[in-house]
Chains A and B, each alone.
Chain A
Amino acid sequence: MKKTILIAMLAGFASLAANAGEYDISVDRVQIDTGDFVKEGIGYNGASPGPILRFKEGEEVTINVTNNLDEMTSIHWHGLILPYQQDGVPGISFPGIKPGETFTYNFPIVQAGTYWFHSHSGFQEPNGAYGAIVIEPEGREPFRYDREYVVQLTDKHPHSGDRIMRNLKMSADYYNRQQQTVGDFIEESGDKGFMATLMDRMMWGDMRMMKADIEDVQGFTALINGKGPEQNWTGLFEKGDRVRLRFINSSAMTYFDVRIPGLEMTVVQADGNNVQPVNVDEFRIGVAETYDVIVRIRDEQAYTIFAESMGRSGFARGTLAPAEGMVADVPEMRDAPLLTMADMAGHRDHGGMDHGSMDHGSMDHGSMDQGDMAGMDHGDMNRDDMAGMDHSGMNHGGDSALPEDPFYAKGSGLIPTASNGGKFLSYADLKAQKPLYEDREPTREIEMRLTGNMERYEWSINGVKYEDADPVVLQYGERVRFKFVNETMMTHPMHLHGMWSILDVGADKWNPIKHVISVAPATTVYMETEVDAPGEWAFHCHLSYHAASGMFRKIVVEGDPDSTVADGKQGGQQGGES
């Protein structure tokens, strides 16, 4: 017995030695040309986006990062499981990289899939400091493809991150050019009657909330792999190919609804972890999420990759084509959605619309634990309050039956539908291909209310901004159930560093393993985390200006494998797909 272990260890060392890669990255001032504007920004190895880093599972990587800026920088390896000192968050993992200095990251690659990297210093990431990571698995992948492309989305803005933050603080609607106008009022009056429209505006005005508050930062040019819609990033294929597209949303603030008209997409991976394949016509990718899809292309024609922002203030466009220069039609963007009263659960106690006290506890759909999807009725509690008072907001789409998705409040204006009437991916469709951890009862639950004040552009957790908050302390070996209660009217992509976020879709051991959990307005979403990584980690909303405004926490994991505090030490510490 001892012998085999020794041999295995030796073999491990040998493979490590044979499989150690060294990479150099420089952090540089670069020009970013979106086709609409040219802007000075920050990039890696002289370009934004930076290079695609291709690692192999089991490899020991050494990455030399040289800071050519005149300010501090850092690189965070988004989604990678690694020692906390290598995680790249200044002030938590390490002090940061000084101007002119080279910092050497060193960590083993213990997972496979699509990830990305970005600066965690100031607003360098929105300013262009991001790149893709592709990790080839040790074993065979459970799906076939003939070629692959990274499709990295971002929302490049002509203003610098600092300027955007300042403008939002001066005026939270600074960038919102989708507010309802007099013209909208007249049009809606024609449809629904003057009084109904007036009552609707009064109701929202009473709360001092805007239905059009979906994208805080508009005015960007959406890019695919650094190219604007006019510059048209193109990926080539040969007829009959199965093409794997690794979608990464590296935006500062923007969710995208992605489709390729004429092609069905098979989602095979989410946030780097394989999922049971789901065929979809369209999917929504939250900020910092990744989705890998496979498309099988039978015809020798060009296809447009069309990614509309969730608030429809911009779109990214690329092309899959048999030959360079071929293009397909670029669809028109659909109408911008509007929030409804169902998205306002957390705000109903403001502004004199007192319909009885808001009991967030009652939003807790316990049935979710049993995996009963039909019972996951997030918005239900609002119905009584809303009866008779919401004359038009509920059903802005008008006619047909409301779309449903258990991860949106019932009646939410944000529930996505596929443009061709087909299948739109829901979190509820995601099932792990191979569970990473043994399924077990969580040892405790931690509630995180996602809170904020849109008018002041302040964002917080449990009503407390990061600067006023104590760290969240976890014990090594616990399995913690996080309960996210979104009390704001914005959608928040919550990102836990260093440990996996097991999203509760009611599939028990098949619950998908992610690194970003998007929480729609007025919903409660649960995730569980096997606390298997000692050290100090960051946890935050991945919308850049929300994180910087205070929707951020330090997580401290006490204890280590040698001094396990709680029961149930897991075999899956290595993380990643097996």
Chain B
Amino acid sequence: MKRLMPALCGLSLAMATLTGPAFAQEDAAKKTQTAKTFWGVSAEKLEYRYSDADEELAVIEGDAFYGTDELKFRWLFEGEWEEAHNAWETLENQFVAQVPVDDFWDAKAGIRVDTPEGKDRVYGVLGLTGLAPYWFEIDTNLYVSDEGDASVDFEAEYELLITNFWIVSATFESLVAFSEDREIGVGKGLNSTEVGLRLSYDLFDRAFSPYIGAAHERTFSDTADLARDSGGSTEDWFAVVGARVMF
């Protein structure tokens, strides 16, 4: 973490200079005639999962932002509540600053705080998010934990319009760690993948879109061993039901 702070400070400085010229002008109409700051709250996933091993989970992936075209502050939340243990299996809070680096891509930097059942971790985050050619939404991040372990996650999503209201979204997520962090069940190498397919219907604008679908989670190599050792499963199929919300 200590090593990361200077880098983050540098980045925020760079961002401050980037947005600087915008405040230099004194034309009063720039305020009255321009919509400058925006906010939004959404949850890409807000769902109940039922596994082939009779596990029950509640999963939330939330996102709240405030900012301008040039600089946004984002709070990203990810949680998995496990019914059987009455506990948060996953509980991540990311606080990042986001700046555009290209027509279609944004860079992110900030911190991630994990406080699930079990050991806590704090990470520095550097990420890239945006739209790749052929409409793939991509989000990828490099994490460096307070234990000095580095990992990279990668998420891709593709939306297929059955109609303009019925939408199938295919998602792929993976996590690769560069070193082992046994305490939190992370092995070196490819940790896990998750593939999902969800059919949603835009019920109220794009504000509330209920969906049903399926997800498949799998852990690999060392991570799978760690999971087996702690009595967990290494491969799960889930039926999911939930809603995408955006305000």
Q: Please report A residues at the B interface, Cβ cutoff 8 Å.
A: 72, 89-92, 95-96, 120-122, 159, 162, 165-167, 169-171, 174, 177-183, 202, 205-208, 219, 350-352, 453, 455-456, 458, 465-468, 470-471, 538, 540, 545, 547-550, 552, 554
0 or 1 for each of B30-46: is its CB under 8 Å from A? (1 = yes)? 11111110111010000
Contact A467 B25 (CB under 8 A): yes
Contact A466 B133 (CB under 8 A): no
A162 to B134, CA, bound (A): 31
0 or 1 for each of B197-216: is its CB under 8 Å from A? (1 = yes)? 00000000110000000000
The chain A residue with its CB closest to the CB of B29 is: A91
Q: Please report B residues at the A interface, Cβ cutoff 8 Å.
A: 21-22, 25, 27-36, 38-40, 42, 69, 100, 103-104, 131, 133-135, 160-165, 205-206, 246
The chain A residue with its CB closest to the CB of B162 is: A182
- What's the minimum C-beta distance from A494 to chain B, rounded to whole angstroms? 15
- What's the minimum C-beta distance from A526 to chain B, rounded to whole angstroms? 26
Known: A455-B103, A455-B104. A548 touches B161 (CB 8 A): no
A471 to B162, CA, bound (A): 47
Closest 4 A/B residue pairs (Cβ):
A91-B29, A91-B28, A205-B134, A548-B35
Known: A351-B133, A549-B35. A554 touches B29 (CB 8 A): yes
Contact A180 B161 (CB under 8 A): yes
Known: A171-B206, A554-B29. A350 touches B103 (CB 8 A): yes
Contact A550 B34 (CB under 8 A): yes
Q: Which residues of B contact A352 (CB under 8 A)?
A: 133
A388 to B34, CA, bound (A): 43
Most chain B beta carbons < 10 A, residue from A162, A208, A453: A208
Contact B29 A89 (CB under 8 A): yes
The chain B residue with its CB closest to the CB of A181 is: B161
A-B CB contacts (within 8 Å), total count: 114
Known: A91-B31, A181-B163. A467 touches B100 (CB 8 A): no
Contact partner of B100 (CB less than 8 A), chosen from A167, A183, A456, is A456
Contact B42 A170 (CB under 8 A): yes
A207 to B134, CA, bound (A): 8
Contact A182 B161 (CB under 8 A): yes
Q: Which residues of B contact A178 (CB under 8 A)?
A: 164
Q: Which residues of B contact A95 (CB under 8 A)?
A: 28
A352 to B133, CA, bound (A): 9
Q: Which residues of B contact A179 (CB under 8 A)?
A: 161, 164
Contact A120 B33 (CB under 8 A): yes
Known: A177-B165, A181-B164, A351-B133. A471 touches B27 (CB 8 A): yes
A171 to B206, CA, bound (A): 10
A174 to B40, CA, bound (A): 13
A545 to B28, CA, bound (A): 19
Q: Which residues of A contact B165 (CB under 8 A)?
A: 177
- What's the minimum C-beta distance from B17 to chain A, rounded to whole angstroms? 14
Contact B34 A466 (CB under 8 A): yes
> A456-B100, A466-B34, A550-B34 known; 20 other A-B pairs, CB under 8 Å?
A89-B29, A90-B33, A91-B28, A92-B33, A120-B33, A121-B32, A159-B205, A170-B38, A170-B40, A174-B206, A181-B162, A182-B160, A205-B134, A207-B133, A455-B103, A456-B69, A468-B22, A470-B25, A552-B33, A554-B27
Can you report 14 A-B residue pairs in the complex whose CB atoms are below 8 A from each other?
A: A72-B32, A91-B28, A91-B31, A91-B32, A96-B32, A174-B206, A181-B163, A202-B134, A208-B135, A219-B205, A350-B103, A352-B133, A467-B25, A470-B25
Q: Which residues of B contact A177 (CB under 8 A)?
A: 164-165
Contact A165 B35 (CB under 8 A): yes
A122 to B100, CA, bound (A): 26
Q: Which residues of A contact B25 (CB under 8 A)?
A: 467-468, 470
Contact A208 B104 (CB under 8 A): yes
Q: Which residues of B contact A162 (CB under 8 A)?
A: 35
